[in-house]
Amino acid sequence: MRFIGGVGLMVLTMQALAAGSPAIEVSSETWAPTGNMAQARSGASAALLQDGSVLIAGGANGDVPLASADIFKNGSFSATGSMLLARSNAAAVALKDGRVLITGGSTASGPTSETEIYDPATGAWTIGNSMAASRWGHTTTLLADGRVLIAGGLGSGAPGTTLEIFDPATGLFSLAGVLITARSSHAAALLPDNHMLIAGGYDGSQVLKSTEIFDPASGSVSSGPDLATPRAAHSATTLLNGSVLIAGGSDGSQDLASVELLPKGGAAFIATGNMASPRRSQSAFLLRDNNSVLIVGGSVDTAELYRSWSRAFVATGAPAEWRGGAAGSPLLAEGLLLMAGGSSPSAELYGFATVKTDKQDYAPGTVVTITGSGWQPGERVTLTLVEEPLIDTHPTFYATADASGRIVNYEFAPDHDDVGVRFYLTATGSVSQAQNTFTDGVKTIAVSFPADSGTYNASSYSTGGGDINGTVQWDSNTTDSGRTVDVSIRQGTGNYWNGSAFSSATEVFNAATGSFSGNGGHTWTYAFALPSDGSYTVRARGSQQGASDLFSAANTFTIENTAPPTASVTAPVNGTLYGPTTMPATFSGSAADNSGGVGLAANSTTFTLQRPSDNFYWTGTTWQAAVFNLATTHSAT
């Protein structure tokens, strides 16, 4: 760790003008009214769009399913295209390409297998391919590779066991596996290793405490650790540290206040305090750049915050109206969350404090700029850093909030001893707390082939891979954005490869290919056909949005693909004893180029004649100690 002396506070006068909301200010941990929807909707679906607006689709007004949809933007709602099928309790997921997938739900005739896709660019819906099963009370989860997993749900009178995966590239659903136990009203969470946790629910006769783990890579389903308490209509939230919080629900006879935690990589759930109010069917949101979990609505009209760094629930402001059946989403606007509908067309915004850093990953020696918003004007906010793994401790830093409640601090920089460390940054004020995380150079990248100091011909280059390849690893807490691997190749001490020729005097990095979503190790490849003979140096560069580039060690390798010429002696014959009359009058033999090139020049082959008694060489007229090459005559080949 390096302490940066000097001023640690900078007063900012900018306002939070972000997409999806004008300069709206809501005091932290309180609610404020915002625009109303055109009609009340309960059981609607919400999705945050890439421009910061929020899509609210379907739901029911009373007992009547709705097809209409609204867009929340700039503090108000406006109508957008209606769905082609009226439905409530459907599941919505924002795809990586910006579209929104709506699956299943309950229609006037019961559960449906129909799906629709919303395109924000046109404001219109298109019918998607149908799922294999009708379902509501199911879960949809966006996987790291951009596909969507659909699990369980209530179909034709009974909970289902099927797992389906939607591929946005093809628009098709495919069966991905079968759950061990049929379940609906369960909860699902994506684990740090990209496996899916599917927990609890109802199997048609009893509330479940079992869990299952789905591996999208292999399509396998295995039993997970049991919950301590059977529960349905609960929530599951993946926390900043990779643990999963299971909260509330019903055990079939009563609503639950109990909460369980599955630690990252853990084999069992552990207790982690209770909520103040038993509740089921609640909304649970991991707050952006705050990382508390807001639990709101459901069967009670209060709200609570879970802070993973203290493993405790704290009270927070309650919405002005009961939000059972409401739809909601955090906004891109800093420190704001939207809850809309339920029993009325009204909507409210929840304010919360934030803390963040200007990058997700830092090279040693790089200053970490810490900023935040939503703090009490003039309050002194305490900033603490905790390492994972815990190797070192760090002093406490402070930042004083300006008149707009914003903080900034730039007193910390990681050093080389912190490489591979994840930092958890916690900000604590008089009312609010917030946490975020960043890393110090945890990416690794290497060139696997060609090996350093390796020598290759056409055969061994092809056997080794035929292209330049290697490995890369990221450990990022929030996003896969901007991940790339690039390769530079230099010929000897001369020019660099520009993608088509060695013609650049300065280093050029060429894009490699690979799948780089998710943490952990990945492979990359750069297509580079066997070059001409000579020495080459290759190195790779890993990049990610908001992080420092990391370079591999340079591998220098040699190509020797031109076969050497060969020659043989025909006469005299090897091992033959000759006398004065049998010695060949003319020495003869053959030579070959073997390279497929221009061949041998005429009379270019030479030979030596050495006397074993003293190792002297024949010059044509006498014997001498120095090597002497005798000329031959032959035509060009």
CATH number reported for the structural domain that contains residue 399 in this entry: 2.60.40.1930
Of 541, 559, 577, the last residue of a domain is: 559
Structure confidence at residue 620 as a pLDDT band (50, 70, 90): confident
Of 559, 583, 610, the last residue of a domain is: 559
How would you classify the pairing of strands 433-440 and 361-362?
Answer: parallel
Q: How far, in Å, CA of 207 to CA of 227, rounded?
A: 11
- On whether both 368 and 429 belong to a single domain, the answer is yes
- On whether both 570 and 617 belong to a single domain, the answer is yes
Count of domains observed in the chain:
3
- On whether both 426 and 483 belong to a single domain, the answer is no
Phi, psi dihedrals of residue 462, rounded to the nearest 5°: -65, -40
pLDDT, tens only, 251-308: 999 999 999 999 998 999 999 989 999 999 999 999 999 999 999 999 999 999 999 9
- On whether both 473 and 430 belong to a single domain, the answer is no
Q: How far, in Å, CA of 23 to CA of 16, rounded?
A: 6
- On whether both 599 and 516 belong to a single domain, the answer is no
239 lies in some domain? no
Q: How far, in Å, CA of 347 to CA of 75, rounded?
A: 10
- Inter-residue contact 489 to 507 (CB < 8 Å): no
Instruction: Tell me the CATH number at 521.
Output: 2.60.40.10
Query: Measured between alpha carbons, how far is residue 60 from residues 34, 42, 44, 329, 448 in Å?
Result: 21, 5, 7, 19, 57
Reply yes or no on whether the pLDDT at 22 is more than 50. no
- Smallest CA-to-CA distance from 202 within 258, 160, 141 is with 160
3-class SS shares of the chain: helix, strand, coil, % to 5: 0, 45, 55
456 lies in some domain? yes
- On whether both 548 and 573 belong to a single domain, the answer is no
Q: How far, in Å, CA of 242 to CA of 193, rounded?
A: 9
- The dihedral formed by the CA atoms of 579, 582, 583 and 584, expressed in degrees to the nearest 10: 180
- On whether both 448 and 555 belong to a single domain, the answer is yes
Name the average pLDDT for the chain. 89
- On whether both 489 and 529 belong to a single domain, the answer is yes
166 lies in some domain? no
pLDDT, tens only, 443-498: 678 899 999 999 998 888 988 778 999 998 765 444 555 678 999 999 998 999 99
- On whether both 577 and 616 belong to a single domain, the answer is yes
Structure confidence at residue 365 as a pLDDT band (50, 70, 90): confident
Instruction: Give the list of residues 6+ apart from residue 89 with CB closer than 8 angstroms, or none.
Output: 43, 105, 106, 136, 137
pLDDT, tens only, 498-553: 999 999 988 899 999 998 876 667 899 999 999 988 999 999 988 765 555 677 77
- On whether both 493 and 517 belong to a single domain, the answer is yes
Of 440, 473, 496, the last residue of a domain is: 440
Reply yes or no on whether the pLDDT at 14 is more than 50. no
Phi, psi dihedrals of residue 576, rounded to the nearest 5°: -90, 140
Question: What does the pLDDT read at residue 571?
Answer: 85
- On whether both 361 and 411 belong to a single domain, the answer is yes
pLDDT, tens only, 405-439: 999 999 999 887 777 788 999 999 999 999 999 88
- On whether both 463 and 425 belong to a single domain, the answer is no
Domain that holds residue 394: 356-440
